[in-house]
Structure 1
Amino acid sequence: MAREKTSPGLKILWLWAIGTAAILVTNVVRTRIRDMEQIMNAQQQQQQQQQESAVPDSVIVDTRPESNEGIVREVK
């Protein structure tokens, strides 16, 4: 039995079809990953804004007591 040979044009067509499919799949995956990153970044920014709004900018603490209450001094 003689073996049938595949024509070079058919081989090129198969390579072109497989290459095109690979490029399309790669573009879809990249788009999905980019969308997920944008969603995650937006969520992180929203959480940071919520944390920043919950924490006061500054706190003033009086370190000098008004009276001598609570201060223990040893007398020698």
Structure 2
Amino acid sequence: MWRDKPPGLKILWVWTLGTAAVLVANVVRTRMRDMDTLMNNTEQHHHQQQQAAAADTETLLLPESDQVIREEKSS
């Protein structure tokens, strides 16, 4: 059946399938980039929250003992 088709129609099918493959690849690449950006923003936000929580608590180590004193800063 494929052998009975004219060469122009075969070229048209190859062109169509190739174009579809390129479009699908571009969509997948864009989605992956967006997902990566979202993941990086989430990690960065989580890291900033941890830094803010650490900044709210001061830890003092007394030189003559092994005791740790923590003070909560009031905002």
Q: TM-score range by the shorter chain?
A: 0.7 to 0.9
Return the offset for 1:44.
0.3
TM-score (structure 1 length as normaliser): 0.71
Match of 2:44 in 1: 45
SS in 2 for 1:59: strand
**Structure with the largest fraction of helix:** 2
Distance in 1, matches of 2:13 and 2:62, equals 80
Return the offset for 1:58.
6.2
Mapped pair 1:54 → 2:50: no
Unaligned runs of 5+ in 2: 66-75
Distance in 2, matches of 1:8 and 1:64, equals 90
**Structure with the largest fraction of strand:** 2
Distance in 2, matches of 1:41 and 1:64, equals 43
Q: Percent identity?
A: 48
Return the offset for 1:62.
1.6
Match of 1:8 in 2: 7
Match of 2:34 in 1: 35
CA RMSD, Structure 1 to Structure 2 (Å): 2.0
Distance in 1, matches of 2:11 and 2:37, equals 39
SS in 1 for 2:61: coil
TM-score (structure 2 length as normaliser): 0.72
- The answer to which structure, 1 or 2, has the higher relative contact order (CA under 8 A, 6+ apart) is 2
SS in 2 for 1:55: helix
Count matched residues.
62
Distance in 2, matches of 1:36 and 1:51, equals 23
